Amino acid sequence: MNSNHAEPTAVHVLNWQWLGRQDYLPTWQAMRALTDARDAATPDQIWGVEHPPVFTQGQAGRPEHLLDAHGVPVVQTDRGGQITYHGPGQAVIYLLLDLRRRRWMVRETVQRIEEAVIRTLAHWSIEGVRHPGAPGIYLASSEKISALGLKVRNGCTYHGVAINVAMDLQPFTWINPCGYAGLRTLDMASQGANAAVEQVAATFAEEFAALWQTQGGGPTMKP
């Protein structure tokens, strides 16, 4: 809020919503609809969800990276990246942001999302690291703990990032995660963290809000 106590404008508002357990397809459709309908006054939003088991394939996804679906639904999406898995025990955070208002480039946005994941993991004493050329966050021992994929349309983002909290990791062995054969995937629980999915998603939202800044000042988080 500024010095004359006026209500913050849309450019300074970042709305956070925890949506709970949601099917993937209608959530994706809702993201697309909001992005298509938004205008200069539409506040930016972060949605936190937990999905039933689903594999999602990015725009450039190659079918050979799906080794065996074992009956899990596979959805072809419009985000970047290759194939990944979503399931119970994973915090999925969708970022519906107008980059034009921040004058951010896509790479800069990805770096800030990754930094927010690193800061989130640090709350549970887990060290997250980047791998050059491979979006997402890894452990120092090279296992992946967070996957990232965005879509940018008319300067606005949707899709987002997933953080593995405490989940069945076997489905990751049925794919080449993010297109990397043999890439091992772990979760926060395997690193000794006792955390709830909603808690991790909300912590990410707080950390990202701290990075979502402009020359006019930081954002106002609204639940």
Per-residue DSSP letters for 114-133? HHHHHHHHHTTT--EEEETT
Give the residue among 90, 14, 11 at the shortest CA–CA distance from 47: 14
Establish if 3 belongs to a structural domain.
no
Taking CA atoms, 110 is separated from 77, 90, 96, 120, 166, in Å, by 19, 20, 13, 15, 24
pLDDT tens for residues 22-38?
999 999 999 999 999 99
Instruction: Look at residue 181 and tell me if it is in a domain.
Output: yes
- Cβ–Cβ under 8 Å, residues 24 and 56: yes
Is 133 a known ligand-binding residue? no
For residue 173, tell me if it sits in a domain.
Answer: yes
Q: Is 83 annotated as a binding residue?
A: yes
Residue 5 lies in a domain: no
The structure's pTM equals: 0.91
What's the pLDDT at 190? 97
**161 assigned ligand-binding residue:** yes
Identified catalytic residue from 150, 178, 186, 197: 178
**DSSP class of 79:** S
23 lies in which domain range? 16-212
Number of structural domains (the chain) is 1
At 105-158, the pLDDT tens digits run 999 999 999 999 999 999 999 999 999 888 899 999 999 999 999 999 999 999
80 is in an annotated binding site: yes
Residue 156 appears among annotated catalytic residues: no
Residue 218 within a domain: no
Residue 170 domain-assigned? Answer: yes
